[in-house]
Amino acid sequence: TKKTTWSDRFESALHPAIAIFNASIGFDIELIEYDLTGSVAHAKMLAKTGIISEEEAQQLEQGLEKIRQEYRQGEFNPGVDAEDVHFAVERRLTEILGDVGKKLHTGRSRNDQVGTDIRLYLKAEINEIRTYLREFQSVLLNLAENNIETLIPGYTHLQRAQPLSLAHHLMAYVQMAQRDWERLGDVLKRTNISPLGCGALAGTTFPIDRHYSAELLGFESIYENSLDGVSDRDFAIEFLCAASLIMVHLSRLSEEMILWASEEFNFISLKDSCATGSSIMPQKKNPDVPELVRGKTGRVFGHLQALLVIMKGLPLAYNKDLQEDKEGIFDAVKTVKGCLEAMTILLSEGIIFNQTRLNSAVAEDFSNATDVADYLATKGVPFREAYNLVGKVVKTSLAQGKLLKDLTIEEWQQIHPAFATDIYEAISPKTVVSARNSYGGTGFEQVKIAIANAKSELKQ
Ligand code: ARG
């Protein structure tokens, strides 16, 4: 059996199955670059405060950078006996440097170390996800710009409600993604706090300079309380919450795309580059991308729930339960990035909006009924009265297999003398949509304003 970092205090070796059970190296190797960077900053701080010599700090830095190179070249592959990434690095450092390597852990614990690593990791990944969100938004914006006057049925209760500009529908998702982008910016604020130097739980006897190491690592501030610093995972929960909301939005869009691609809707066609076939039904073309995004949403929600439950019963300060935070966070990051990328590709080159079908869909229903009521209301009929009149017209038209546009002017005037021949124009799909010109509405002028506003927001 190999010697572990702490084995001098123990009589016998760890049971091999327990060693495997206990180890996190299988997944926390993902943190290695951040662990190395954190250690370099710690070594520099130790030298600045005179706890170790400048020369020792330089040796430590060189050793740590050597490990970075080894890792990048695929030559650093610690096994289960290393326990975790922190021990793996320290052990290798001591192999490289001898006794100087053993000085690195002065005034530090794995508890503040792992907290530092995970925060550095999340800071970088949050910025990446924000970039993915920006690309997703700009593809949606582009589609919106090209489809201001393309009409699409709008639904409530999944029943035809009022027609919309397709651009307006797409811009709703641009807004959701904007909130996601801003929310991640908020999470970043509370991720950007350094726990380094909190020690195991109580701080340290060495005259360390926590502000200095925090500054080297690009942290905005440091934890005020060492117990809180090593045991806080609020920022990770907030991240998983923000990630979950991104997935909510992607999943709703996915659901719509799956419906739209069905023969019943037929609003979009899938291009071969983003669809798959069936093993038995030769005619099939399946929307796997949005289905997978919708399906993967569950795992991100699961990671949020898992971390909330991990945290709720933990006494202060560090407990090994906290080792369970990582796999969920890593998987959530990977899932969100993968889904954003796939949806961005799908939107930019994987679908075609079936314009003819969309434009005719909005002309074949009663989604202009509100506009007939509005027409009468504009001519002085109280809205509720107008609404009731139109309700009757819809009932009789349905019974006769007619649409509102099929009524003759005589029929309209029998319903109410206020109707004139301009009713036909007033209830045509284009007019109906463009007339909803209230702020934030689907009217073409409003949609153009929304697109212009979003464009300037995206530049930030
Ligand atoms: N692998 C551990 C984790 O992920 C590192 C911290 C271990 N600290 C301890 N006191 N055992 O949480």
Please report, for the domain that includes residue 102, its CATH number: 1.10.275.10
Residue 2 forms part of a structural domain: no
Q: Same domain, yes or no, for 75 and 164? A: no
Please write the tens of the pLDDT for every residue from 287-328. Answer: 999 999 999 999 999 999 999 999 999 999 999 999 999 999
Say yes or no: 149 and 288 in one domain. Answer: yes
Position 39 pLDDT exceeds 90: yes
| Residues known to be catalytic | 157, 278
- Select the more confidently predicted residue: 6 or 72: 72
User: Tell me, what's the pLDDT at 5?
Assistant: 82
Q: Are strands 193-194 and 268-270 parallel, antiparallel or unpaired?
A: unpaired
* Pair 189, 279 in one domain: yes
Q: What is the pLDDT of residue 380?
A: 94
Q: Mean pLDDT in the chain? A: 96
Q: Look at residue 211 and tell me if it is in a domain.
A: no
- Mutate which of 14, 30, 320 for ligand 1? The one with the most ligand atoms within 8 Å of its CB, which is 320
Say yes or no to pLDDT of 2 above 70.
no
Query: How far does Cα 292 stand from its chain's mean position?
Result: 15
CA 155 to ligand 1 centroid distance, Å: 51
On whether residue 324 sits in a domain, the answer given is: yes
For residue 300, being part of any structural domain is answered with: yes
> Quick one: pLDDT at residue 214?
98
How many folded domains does the chain comprise? 3
For residue 279, the model assigns a pLDDT of: 84
Residue-wise pLDDT tens digits, 198-248 = 999 999 999 999 999 999 999 999 999 999 999 999 999 999 999 999 999
219 lines ligand 1 (CB under 6 A): no
Domain coverage including residue 451 = 369-458
Residue where one domain finishes, among candidates 48, 77, 106: 106
Shared domain for 321 and 375, answered yes or no, is: no
- Would you say residue 29 has pLDDT above 80? yes
pLDDT at 460: 77
Residues 134 and 265 in one domain: yes
Tens of pLDDT, residues 337-370 = 999 999 999 999 999 999 999 989 999 999 999 9
User: Given this model, what pLDDT does residue 64 score?
Assistant: 98
CATH number for the domain spanning 454: value is 1.10.40.30
Residue 1 lies inside a defined structural domain of this protein: no
Please tell me whether residues 81 and 141 are part of one structural domain.
no
User: Residue 274: its pLDDT value, please?
Assistant: 85
Same-domain status, 229 and 313: yes
Model confidence at 1: pLDDT above 60: no
Taking CA atoms only, the protein residue closest to ligand 1 atom 2 is 323
Burial classification of residue 407, based on how many CB atoms lie within 10 Å of its CB (0-12 exposed, 13-18 middle, 19 or more buried): buried
Among residues 63, 80, 106, the one where a domain terminates is 106
Tell me the ipTM for this assembly.
0.97
Does residue 77 form part of some domain? yes
* Residue 88 and residue 181 in one domain: no
Q: Is 189 inside a domain boundary? A: yes
The reported pLDDT for the residue numbered 205 is: 98
Are both 342 and 387 inside the same structural domain?
no
Give the Å distance between the CA of 49 and the centre of ligand 1: 26
Query: Residue 40 falls within a domain, yes or no?
Result: yes
In percent, how much of the chain has pLDDT > 90?
Answer: 93
In the predicted structure, residue 253 carries a pLDDT above the cut 60 = yes
Round to whole Å and give the CA distance between 447 and 154: 15
pLDDT given at position 137: 98
Q: What is the CATH number of the domain that holds 314?
A: 1.20.200.10
**How many whole angstroms separate alpha carbon 165 and alpha carbon 433?**
7
Helix axes 288-312, 325-345, angle to 10 degrees: 160
Q: What is the Cα–Cα distance from 192 to 234, expressed in whole angstroms?
A: 12
pLDDT computed for residue 163 by the predictor: 97
Return the residue matching tokens 């809205």: 383
The pLDDT value given to residue 98: 97
Q: Whose CA is nearest to atom 11 of ligand 1?
A: 320
In a shared domain, residues 248 and 138: yes
**Is 110's C-beta closer than 6 angstroms to any atom of ligand 1?**
yes
Residue where a domain stops, chosen among 361, 379, 394: 361
In angstroms, how far is CA 139 from the centroid of its own chain?
16
Ligand 1: residue whose CA is nearest its atom 12? 323
Same domain, 191 and 168: yes
Q: What is the pLDDT of residue 35?
A: 98
Residues 336 and 432 in one domain: no
